[in-house]
Chains A and B, each alone.
Chain A
Amino acid sequence: MYTEKVIDHFREPHNRGKMENYSAVGKVGNIVCGDVMWLYIKVDKNDAGQDIITDISWETFGCTAAIATSSMVSDIGKGKTIEEAIAVTNQDVASELGGLPPIKMHCSALAADALNEAIYAYLIQEKRSIPEALQKRHDHIAKEMAQLEERYAAFTEKGNSKPRGCE
């Protein structure tokens, strides 16, 4: 059901793990399947004074496709300007992977959303104006995240970090 490319990225994902000194992080999740993706970006100015995403990394709790799309979106986003990165869609991520099964398309949406959220967080932090489309997407994602954070409160740093273990 998965393409070789998906399997390759799953087996040896690029840019995984938390980033030190990141500029911003985007946290997204899907309430139906329960998968969660955190994506870190590092932003610097290029010679022309544009904001460039110089580095991306991620931490993902999710299926094979969620891990592969995390890996792929980190490759795609690196080196792009903020404007270019906002334009990255889940279709871009999926097609770079040679396609995804229909039911797994939402995993690529998670990846594109994570990038968007990181950019959103960055723009807010830098007190920049937020493009309307980005704001809308953020509002939608934030709602879902609130529900998920409740579900996973037991093992996010905010909550009780002790495992429940075998009950």
Chain B
Amino acid sequence: MAMNKNVYLDNSATTPVAPEVLEAMIPFFQSRYGNASSLHSEGRDARRAVEESRALIAEHLKVHPSEIVFTSGATEADNLALLGTALRSTGGHLITSRIEHDAVRHSADWLASRGYDVTLLEVDEFGRVSADDVREAIRPDTMLVSVMAGNNEVGTIQPIRAIGEICRERSVPFHTDAVQAYGKIELPMDVIDMLSVSAHKLHGPKGVGFLYVRKGTKLTPLLHGGGHEHGRRSGTENVPGIVGLGVATQIAFEERDRVTQRMEGFREYLIQEVLKLPATRLNGHPTESLPHIANFSFEAIEGESLIMKLDEHHIATSTGSACSSPNLEPSHVLVALGVPLSMAHGSLRVSTGRQTMQDDIDALLKALPIVVQELRDMSPFKVGG
């Protein structure tokens, strides 16, 4: 265990900022520090940088720049989509799924506690929502459908084109949390009305993101103040962050084919090798998945211990284990997939990034059988095989 290099395989949690991104950001902390709302040349310089970044993002998404609303990240973007839609009236019906990120899930819970009706769509054993269920759930008072593009824990891709088309037919706005999918898979922007993105999952900085809002989509702002972002989100623009997000977007889209192909290779190899260990399962969809996420369960092992053991080997991963969550409940995603409780406790999420190398995967595959055996030896439960 003399290995000192850190192996970082938790890129769904966050990613290292790409050198190009950091380089582009630095001037906006120091020499180009203007407030984008100021009239003087410093201000105009900052405004230009913000608008260039907006245009760059819009170009990659093939949307209009005025449809991009910068936020403090995807949590805010998700809140703006859900609450900004709901708070236009005092009641109404929201449709979302059981496997959403907490930013959507808890926004929906909050709305439910305020008297809104919320339908939670079930998922199949792979974590997929059925578009037919969306069709059936839509009511005359449905104000929004929100289904994520790709799941952050198990990687499963949702049929968002089909869902978006149904929403379009029924004239219901459709929001998708695309935090994990952005820059990784094709997004059907023609049927999406709102889309949340976060920079730090994409080798950009933390604390910045955006909500794409299709022209004509009605939202009430959540942050009131100086009327920034065309009154949709007040607050002095995070100029360095926005610049970083633009560059991160550009890199992600330009390198997409090459990087995601490599990620897919890692994922397939990981699945093949990890499932050779006894009493192990893959959570999520074998093929309909984001390229960078693979989630496994190990019988008779608890996830937090597994993560801590891998950390001893200088390998960073994560778990949806109950014991690592603030309420001790097992991951709502794994429970929604119907993963048996005995297995839901021992999950391991491996997520790769642009910087991931074969060496990293090999290091994990070398350490994993050792720590799995070590923990199984400690466990009162014996797995056969």
Contact = CB atoms under 8 A, between A and B. Distances in A.
B355 interface: no
A67 B377 CA distance: 12
B341 interface: yes
Interface residues of B, number: 36
Interface stretch (A76-84, A121-129, A150-158): A150-158
B378 A60 contact: yes
B282 A62 contact: no
Nearest to A36: B380
A60 B326 contact: no
B339 to A, nearest CB: 9
B305 interface: yes
Interface string B323-362: 1101011100000000011110100000000000000000
Contacts of B381: 36, 61, 152, 155-156
Interface in B168-198: none
A35 B321 CA distance: 11
Interface string B117-145: 00000000000000000000000000000
B380 A63 contact: no
B39 interface: no
Contact of B380 (A38, A161, A164): A38
Contacts of B384: 161-163
B278 to A, nearest CB: 6
B301 interface: yes
The interface size bin for chain A is 35 or more
A49 interface: no
A163 B385 contact: yes
B301 A64 contact: no
Given A61-B301, A164-B299, A166-B275, A32 B378 contact: no
A48 interface: no
Contact of A166 (B280, B301, B345): B280
Contacts of B341: 34, 151
Interface in B158-176: none
A66 interface: yes
A163 B308 contact: no
A63 B305 contact: yes
Nearest to B339: A167
